[in-house]
Amino acid sequence: MRLDPTPEDEAFREEIASWMRKHLSGRFAELKHRGGPGDEEAFPELRKEWERELAAGDWTCVGWPEAHGGRALSIEQQVIFHEEYARAGGPGRMGHIGEGLIGPALIKFGTAEQKQRFLPEIVAGREFWAQGYSEPNAGSDLANVQTRCWQEADGSWRVQGQKIWTSLAHESDWVFVLARCEPGSKGNKGLAFLLLPLDQPGIEIRPIRQMSGGSEFNEVFFDGAVAQAEHIVGEPGDGWKVAMGLLEVERGVSTLGQQMHFAYELDLIIAAAKRNGRASDPAIRTRIADAWTGLRVMRYNALRMLAPSENGAELGLKREALIYKYYWSNWHRDLGKLAMDVLGAEGDIVTDDPAIRPLQQMFFFSRADTIYAGTNEIQLNLIAERGLGMPREPRPAN
C-alpha cells in the first residue's frame, strides 16, 4: 500500500496539467468549472467544441483500448487524468455518456459493425449520447420497464413508450433505450437494448423544469420511433444484462474527478465564510471541518475501490463500492446546506456572482444526488442485502 507517485506518474500528471493550462484558455476559458451536474445547460455548443479540442489532444476515452481509439491508460493514470482535468476546472463532459457508458457497453457487447459505426464518433467528440432507462412508474424499480418494442418485417425495431430523467436529450444525437421486446414478460426478463437517433419523427423531447428553474432532465416520448435492425446491442431478451454491465462502469475512476470538483466547491464555501465573517462561527467551523474530512474519506474510499480486490470480488460487491454512492450523495447534499448557511441572507438572492451562483445551484441540484441513480432508500437496501447479507425485501408475486 503506497500513496507516493512514481516518477512516470508525476510526469504524466504534469503533462495533463500543462495541456489543460494551454488549451482551457482563450475562448474556452469561460468554461472553467462549468457544465457539471446542476449546470449542464451551460454553453452546450462551446462544450461540444471543447470535446473536439480534447479529442485533438487525444484526451477523450483515455481508458479505452487502443484498438478502439483510446489510450489504454492504467487505472492509476486514469485517476491522475480525471484529477488534473477537474483541478484545472475542466468543464462537465458533454461526451461522458458516450465515453463512460455506451462506449464501454459496445466494446463489451457490441458487434464489430456497431463498434466501427459508433466508437470513432464518440472518440472524436462528433456524436453525443443520452440514456433512456428510467420510466415514470419505474423510478427505483428499474426493471419495471413498460416501454415496448417490436420488430418490423424489415428487421427494424419500433419503440413505444416513455422515458424520464434523460439528461441532455435535447443536446444529444443518439439515445440508448431499454424496452420490453417480449410482450407479457416481467421485470428484467424479455428486454432489448436499442440504439436510436434522437432526431426522428417518432421521438419527442420535453424538458422537466427543476426546482432551480433549469431543465437539464427531460422526458422522452417514443411513438413508433425507429431503431435500425443492426442497432440492437446483444440479443433480444438480453437487454438487462447489457444495461447492468453499463451501470457497473458508472462507479469508475471519474469519481476522482468529481471529488476535485467537490473540493473546488468547498473552497468557494471557505472563501465565502472568510469574506462574510462566518468563518468565526463555531458551528460553521465544525461543519467545514466535517466537510473536509468527508473529502479525505471519499478520496481514500475511491482509491480503495479501484485497487484490485484481495479475493477477486467484482467492484460492485466490494464494501467500499457499495457505500460510495450513499456516502458522497449525502455528503454533497449536506455541503449544499452548509454553503447556504454560510452565505446566509446573501444566498437567498438570485445572482450571477461567480462566487455565489455555483453554490446556489449546488444547493438545489444536490437534492437530486440522493435520488437519482438509486435513491438513499434503494442504496440502503442494497448495502444491507449485498454488504451484510440481510434478508431481501419481500416482493409481491407478479
| Residues labelled catalytic | 250
Query: Between residue 156 and residue 175, which ones bind another protein under the rule CB under 8 A?
Result: 164-165
Contact 162, 219 (CB under 8 A): yes
Nearest distance from residue 208's CB to another protein, in Å?
Answer: 6
Minimum distance of a copy of itself from residue 282's CB (angstroms): 3
Q: Which of 67, 229, 317, 349 binds another protein (CB under 8 A)?
A: 349
By CB under 8 A, residue 116 contacts a copy of itself: no
**Smallest distance, Å, CB 187 to a copy of itself?**
21
Minimum CB separation of residue 287 from a copy of itself in Å reads 11
365 grid coordinates: 441540484
Q: Which of 190, 172, 176 is nearest to 109 (CA)?
A: 176
Q: How many CB atoms lie within 10 A of CB 79?
A: 23
| Cell of residue 227, nine digits | 431503431
Q: Does 391 bind a copy of itself (CB under 8 A)?
A: no
Cα–Cα distance for residue pair 167/242, rounded to 1 Å: 20
What would the grid cell of residue 338 be?
452548509
To the nearest 10°, the Cα dihedral for 36, 42, 47, 49? Answer: 180
| Amino acid identity, position 91 | P
Looking at 394, 395, 397, 398, which residue binds a copy of itself (CB under 8 A)? 394
- Alpha-carbon span 383 to 385, nearest angstrom: 6
Grid coordinates representing 27? Answer: 475562448
Which is closer to a copy of itself, CB of 286 or CB of 351?
A: 286
Cell of 174: 443518439
Greatest alpha-carbon pair distance for the chain in Å reads: 72
Assigned C-alpha cell, 12: 504524466
- From the list 98-106, 196-204, 242-250, 389-397, the region that binds another protein by CB under 8 A is 389-397
Q: CA 313, CA 315: separation in Å to the nearest integer?
A: 6
Of 265-284, binders to another protein (CB under 8 A) are: 270, 273-274, 279, 281-284
Least gap, CB of 285 to a copy of itself (angstroms): 9
Closest CA to 216 of 159, 161, 172: 172
Stretch 275-334 residues interacting with a copy of itself (CB under 8 A) = 282-283, 286
CB nearer to a copy of itself: pick between 188 and 376:
376
- Alpha-carbon gap, residue 281 to 292, rounded angstroms: 17
* Cβ-based nearer residue to a copy of itself, 13 or 287: 287
Q: Pick one of a copy of itself, another protein, none as the site partner of residue 326 (Cβ within 5 to 8 A by kind).
A: another protein
Regarding 247 and contact with another protein (CB under 8 A), the answer is no
- Are residues 129 and 195 in contact, defined by beta-carbon separation less than 8 angstroms? no
| Region 237-266 residues binding a copy of itself, contact defined as CB under 8 A | none
Looking only at the bridges linking them, the beta strands covering 203-208 and 157-164 are unpaired
In the bound state with another protein, the residue whose beta carbon lies nearer, of 204 and 377, is: 377
Please tell me whether residue 295 adopts helix, strand or coil conformation. Answer: helix
String marking each residue 199-218 x if it binds another protein according to CB under 8 A: ---------xxxxxx-----
One residue of 177, 220, 306, 356 binding another protein per CB under 8 A: 306
Whose Cβ is closer to a copy of itself: residue 209's or residue 392's? 392
Residues in 61-80 that interact with another protein by CB under 8 A: 76, 79
Task: Provide the β-strand partners of residue 177.
Answer: 132, 194
Judged by CB under 8 A, the number of residues near another protein is 93
- End-to-end, the C-alpha distance of the chain in Å comes to 49
C-alpha cell of residue 265: 466547491
From CA 91, how far away is CA 134, in angstroms rounded?
26
Distance in Å, CB of 395 to a copy of itself, minimum = 12
By CB under 8 A, which span of 124-132, 192-200, 240-248, 285-293 interacts with another protein? 285-293
Of 86-94, 113-121, 193-201, 289-297, the window that binds another protein (rule: CB under 8 A) is 289-297
The whole-angstrom separation of Cα 100 and Cα 121 is 14
Query: Is 31:86 a contact under the CB 8 Å cutoff?
Result: no
String marking each residue 16-55 x if it binds another protein according to CB under 8 A: ----------------------------------------
Residues that bind a copy of itself (CB under 8 A): 282-283, 286, 394
